[in-house]
Structure 1
């Protein structure tokens, strides 16, 4: 009897020969138990203590050993259970069938090598997790986590804010909501001691200042440790809004990315939002409306760096070297070098490293003569990544990537063969790849969004022919941008890629607007379990159908006498082939017609002129942004809101190409956070600001470096086209003796404007824009402004908060009130007291949380408020 080590060596030596002899595709399961063990250990480590994780891993290992013994050690009998090892021997044509089992051959024992490798994998993950925990919690951070307390940290944002919800403490309470984001700590101060820090922590926070942070921002913040160390990543709570620090000088990577983004800005909003994302994962210019449409149609993965992007970069570089006459080793090194440069461009965060590992392995398989990634390759990648970074096991992106790749490896071929009976092989493969990925990932996707995108398969099938072309065009443009006259040369591939993004955007919008685009599904664990059962049944049905189709037909049967039936004429077979070709051609023509229709719609929407308006109340979430028209394609912007993407979408939908004046009423993030969209538009001709602090908002130096800003005094006027602006408040700020301004002081320092818009017919509409003025500032304004407060349209101060008071409403006597506020915000804006006062005064109200972005215009003696997309 051979030893387990000898059996393992023999298995490795002859695996390829067994694959070659087996009919169809075989699955290499040797590394799967170790990969699953490593992943399970890393996942448990995020929910249990180190001791609990070790105990659970030991229990899993014992279960694995018992299962192996039961299934592989020979006959097992106990009452109702009788298990024998299953052996199937495939006979070649002419081979002699065995008549009896060979008595001199002992049954195989349990797969001790796989079990030993699983144990080693779990031990490695436990040690790696312990080392990460030790590195994260030593020194001042460890003291804070053990004893609780407050920390002042300097950090940069690694991953942007993600929404979270915590259930209410009691049955009558409301659920708590906020955002969670990853911070890389550079320095921290605890109990009067300031030390450098190199840890990454998860911060739970609420408020618009935290929601407006984007990856890469440098901040200082006050964080709180509960003093109860929890398993998994280090978590802290925010005790106050963050302070955004000036950006560090741009690196070479930042300059490359920024140059590409600028080059795509003139290709239309769809190209500006999708082309950088499909090339290297940059989604800052992606509009919220298009992002939601892609989420509802299962196309969000196109704007994230995936294994497909990394495989494409590696394979293209390797084949380019091959075309130049390089040998295989040089081609491999060239491909790996290109992949490394691509990872540096995108950013070496864990999700990108995961995609690069899997995509690189796929591309290396192609360059070395293998046709696809095997389960062994995938399992090896999972094993290495989880051992090096155990926290990956709990990341949704990692799990979805592994499941999608496993589904493509295991289920795509059977589904392609089955679909090939009714459609061309290329179309069958195009349908099978997204279908299998969707089936395998569905249980995890319903945890993220308790709904099923009904048209996800159709959207992915329609986008599949375009995606590689867009990615290749984006990569080509990225390369040639840095050559002499690169801006001109890159215009061709970027324009072609932009056409492709219009097709994808049109597909997403059309299918997202179709009836029943999202089917509701139970939320939480029950919904995931139900979806797992449905997906498993569907995958099992696919494999069962494939097995039945490939099963040889029986050759035994009863002989019937008489003459054989006459042979069918050759024309019969020709007609059958002709009908089959016609059906396939009709399917391809239908697909092309659908793509052409989507392209026509996308081009039509891109060239559709903006509707008429005099002012636009932009829906930017929990923040303010108001456009006042000065001329066709030109406007004055009052505040930017917290989200650059939302502001950019409003500017595009309104047809604004230039800002004559930008006004920042005060230095809060929900009024200044969208400055990046203004920078992408080319800045503004003039800039006004107000703040309780002596200097301008720090976001100006970061997003609009070199811009000259002016703090206008009360009484200053500015006339631009048909718009006249008058500054009503605040009075010049007195120098502060100590400390930064409080939130209330900053709100009461808001720049208050009276705007008068004169239409083409000579009629004038007056506006009052009071920023976030609270009652104390409102009383001062009432004393100084007097009759100038009487207007047609009032932008209710402070998003309708109760502390804004009702005195301004009574003094303005408006014909219409508008409130810029975010849906389901944590502040309860607008307050019922303000709403009741407006209702009692008979003033109609427009709200962005209910109506979205709204365009306002005067038609004779009547004011009209219409949705921007209506």
Structure 2
């Protein structure tokens, strides 16, 4: 232990010196503009676009690299070897050139050097490269031959999967080589909510499958009856270990040396060494040795949550899972099912406290989702690697193998989405280490109780049914318990945070959806609670992210007739997002036209705006907010019909233009008003007086930084006699009844 501690201190000191030495740290403190030659040490990656207000924050290309030469304008050229993070803010149309770069490539960049965000980070500084300074990367040194070969393999796999369905095309490269560049944000969130993210990071499971195919089951690897491809090819034992070592090295190069990959390769290498030397393999010492050597080689792994989770999961599979599996078999659980349940349960029990620190949430569906996904992982991985291997020599064969692998990959995507959409899929938990300790104690308590419960089968059945009801929350039962949604509801404003999503009842199980909010999970959950399975029309009032980013959640598992949008196609990236999502689900997209009138069942509506854009610009074409689709809706027939005016995010100029518009001529008081722009202060008082709503609904996020809804807007609405309800305080809001007797119910 003293020797290990001394070695660890020496290794950490040497790695820390790499960060502090040389000219780069001093240049970062001065925020200097430099020209630098950098050598990439990892594959480029694209940051996930984040919702910032009503816009998506632009993504940037991140490059981990070592600075080899650096110079200031007019200064000397300085040689060094300092790790940095290169952040490239480049237009979407030119990102492909940066993302196609391979590790070991040398680039020359003009950038501003800024300090690292964390003083304990493994990089000495960040190099900010702005769009316009570097339209394309200036390559001054080609990548190494192994990296070029690995790059060709990965690009071949991407080409082989190009013709697959969207989910399989996105996931299969992730399962095989950890390439998640095609995985959409909503699917990534579904994997996080169900604790399936480890499938997108190549890990020991992938390598174990490959190694088992080659050398056979580990328990038979040194016996005469050993199986595997090596045995069938007649390869002796020690050459088998040597060939396995080559396979391990190729696996690390092709799948990139991420923490989980390196840990899996190290454990596999020790297992191969045991085979080559004829010594009996012990998995626990192998794991301990691998972890020790890796942390001594790269002390930064000690701070990696991914490495920690990988080691914890492997340790759980080696220690807890066999005991739990034996206990389940003693209780007459089939052996294969017992092993799967024990593996999923043990990994989740050990890793859940760490995951809670990262996400401040505990998934209640992780074990069943991992169990359902496990049976598809092996075929997807094996067929995916077969496609990777054959793409360079026979692309038609590679495409056929990729198509076969796409079936189990699609199944895993369905499991993730279904699990994430369940109302009780997860619970909030303190995101701190005391919270992790509390969860660990709760897990131990639950395990102790579960061990005693088999003696009381009726109690087991009752607990299982209760857990199932909490997670699934079937609508018929929840309606009885919560009285939500109210019978005969006409309009519902979903609680989707700082955004808009309104549902208009259009018959049993059907609803017209106006806007989709910022979060696919939240809008999907709202529609599930309302029992909506058919959506004749989705109306997107404008293309701001807080109105359209949740569109995948509306389309998930529902029959959708069409999508109707505004005529103003800005912001361009979010308009393109809508078109891309609609095309993937084969849903037609059209534009709303002022004066358009439509009806479905007892629901009718008329589009009041925006007006067609004038050749030289004009009202309705000055920006996305003022181009919002405006709708006057009537639900019901005769004198009891309830009217609703939906204003999108109209601001005062467009609101005044609406009052003057011939299409809106004769606009009279309405029963319900969807207040424009989340109740911001920018409202036209004349419009509020003319429509004089009896009920005003404000869709707004709790604690939003904009001060919505504005006190002046609330006062103006109440001065007309309107009752104001808001989603940040009342939750989802449903309107029912008739014009003569409106009734309102809140979701929570």
Corresponding residue for residue 720 of structure 1: 600
Corresponding residue for residue 143 of structure 1: 33
Relative to structure 1, the CA distance from residue 370 to residue 498 in structure 2 (aligned partners, 3 Å threshold; closer, same or farther) is farther
Corresponding residue for residue 747 of structure 1: 625
For residues 128 and 766 of structure 1, the distance between their equivalents in structure 2, rounded to whole angstroms, comes to 65
Corresponding residue for residue 581 of structure 2: 703
Which of these residues, 689, 702, 706, is aligned with residue 827 of structure 1?
706
Corresponding residue for residue 371 of structure 1: 283
For residues 563 and 400 of structure 2, the distance between their equivalents in structure 1, rounded to whole angstroms, comes to 34
Relative to structure 1, the CA distance from residue 343 to residue 725 in structure 2 (aligned partners, 3 Å threshold; closer, same or farther) is farther
Q: Report the alpha carbon displacement of residue 687 of structure 1 after superposing the two structures with TM.
A: 2.5
Q: Report the alpha carbon displacement of residue 623 of structure 1 after superposing the two structures with TM.
A: 1.5
Corresponding residue for residue 781 of structure 1: 658
Q: Report the alpha carbon displacement of residue 791 of structure 1 after superposing the two structures with TM.
A: 1.6
- Confirm or deny: 8 A CA contact 1:136 1:199 kept in the other structure: no
Larger Rg belongs to: 1
Q: What secondary structure is seen at the aligned counterpart in 2 of 1:802?
A: coil
Matched, 1:856 2:735: yes
For residues 859 and 203 of structure 1, the distance between their equivalents in structure 2, rounded to whole angstroms, comes to 57
Corresponding residue for residue 770 of structure 1: 647
**Unaligned stretches of 5+ in structure 2?**
37-43, 64-82, 90-97, 101-110, 132-154, 218-225, 276-280, 385-397, 445-450, 480-484
Q: What secondary structure is seen at the aligned counterpart in 2 of 1:697?
A: helix
Q: Report the alpha carbon displacement of residue 829 of structure 1 after superposing the two structures with TM.
A: 1.2
- Confirm or deny: 8 A CA contact 2:499 2:546 kept in the other structure: yes
Q: What secondary structure is seen at the aligned counterpart in 2 of 1:788?
A: coil
Which of these residues, 491, 503, 511, is aligned with residue 627 of structure 1?
503
Moved more, 361-370 or 476-485: 476-485
User: 1:502-517, aligned counterparts within 5 Å?
Assistant: none
For residues 433 and 694 of structure 1, the distance between their equivalents in structure 2, rounded to whole angstroms, comes to 43
Q: Report the alpha carbon displacement of residue 771 of structure 1 after superposing the two structures with TM.
A: 1.2
Corresponding residue for residue 570 of structure 1: none
Q: Report the alpha carbon displacement of residue 795 of structure 1 after superposing the two structures with TM.
A: 0.6
Output one character per residue of 1:138-176: Cα deviation in whole Å (capped at 9) or x when no partner. Answer: 9x9961899xxxxxxxx974245499xxxxxxxxxxxx9
Corresponding residue for residue 47 of structure 2: 158
Corresponding residue for residue 259 of structure 2: 354
**Unaligned stretches of 5+ in structure 1?**
1-28, 30-67, 69-110, 147-154, 164-175, 187-197, 205-215, 219-223, 241-249, 266-271, 540-581
Output one character per residue of 1:332-361: Cα deviation in whole Å (capped at 9) or x when no partner. Answer: 9689969978997xxx688xx222222444
Matched, 1:654 2:530: yes
For residues 771 and 720 of structure 1, the distance between their equivalents in structure 2, rounded to whole angstroms, comes to 21
Corresponding residue for residue 374 of structure 2: 471
Which of these residues, 590, 605, 609, is aligned with residue 474 of structure 2?
605
Aligned length: 610
Q: Report the alpha carbon displacement of residue 796 of structure 1 after superposing the two structures with TM.
A: 0.4
Q: Report the alpha carbon displacement of residue 800 of structure 1 after superposing the two structures with TM.
A: 0.6
Matched, 1:804 2:693: no
- Confirm or deny: 8 A CA contact 1:641 1:647 kept in the other structure: yes
Q: State the TM-score, normalizing by the size of structure 2.
A: 0.61
For residues 606 and 256 of structure 1, the distance between their equivalents in structure 2, rounded to whole angstroms, comes to 38
Q: What's the C-alpha RMSD, in Å, of the aligned pairs?
A: 6.4
Q: Report the alpha carbon displacement of residue 125 of structure 1 after superposing the two structures with TM.
A: 5.5
For residues 434 and 836 of structure 1, the distance between their equivalents in structure 2, rounded to whole angstroms, comes to 54
Relative to structure 1, the CA distance from residue 474 to residue 433 in structure 2 (aligned partners, 3 Å threshold; closer, same or farther) is closer
Relative to structure 1, the CA distance from residue 798 to residue 448 in structure 2 (aligned partners, 3 Å threshold; closer, same or farther) is same
- Confirm or deny: 8 A CA contact 2:196 2:416 kept in the other structure: no
Q: Report the alpha carbon displacement of residue 119 of structure 1 after superposing the two structures with TM.
A: 2.2
Q: Report the alpha carbon displacement of residue 679 of structure 1 after superposing the two structures with TM.
A: 5.8
Corresponding residue for residue 6 of structure 2: 115
Corresponding residue for residue 193 of structure 1: none
Q: Report the alpha carbon displacement of residue 399 of structure 1 after superposing the two structures with TM.
A: 4.7
For residues 704 and 497 of structure 1, the distance between their equivalents in structure 2, rounded to whole angstroms, comes to 18
Corresponding residue for residue 3 of structure 1: none
For residues 620 and 316 of structure 1, the distance between their equivalents in structure 2, rounded to whole angstroms, comes to 47
Relative to structure 1, the CA distance from residue 663 to residue 116 in structure 2 (aligned partners, 3 Å threshold; closer, same or farther) is closer
For residues 416 and 61 of structure 2, the distance between their equivalents in structure 1, rounded to whole angstroms, comes to 37
- Confirm or deny: 8 A CA contact 1:772 1:804 kept in the other structure: no
Q: What secondary structure is seen at the aligned counterpart in 2 of 1:746?
A: coil
Relative to structure 1, the CA distance from residue 668 to residue 859 in structure 2 (aligned partners, 3 Å threshold; closer, same or farther) is same
Q: Report the alpha carbon displacement of residue 802 of structure 1 after superposing the two structures with TM.
A: 0.7
Q: What secondary structure is seen at the aligned counterpart in 2 of 1:122?
A: helix
Q: State the TM-score, normalizing by the size of structure 1.
A: 0.54
Corresponding residue for residue 59 of structure 1: none
Q: Report the alpha carbon displacement of residue 726 of structure 1 after superposing the two structures with TM.
A: 1.6
For residues 331 and 634 of structure 2, the distance between their equivalents in structure 1, rounded to whole angstroms, comes to 64
Q: What secondary structure is seen at the aligned counterpart in 2 of 1:614?
A: strand
Q: Report the alpha carbon displacement of residue 792 of structure 1 after superposing the two structures with TM.
A: 1.4
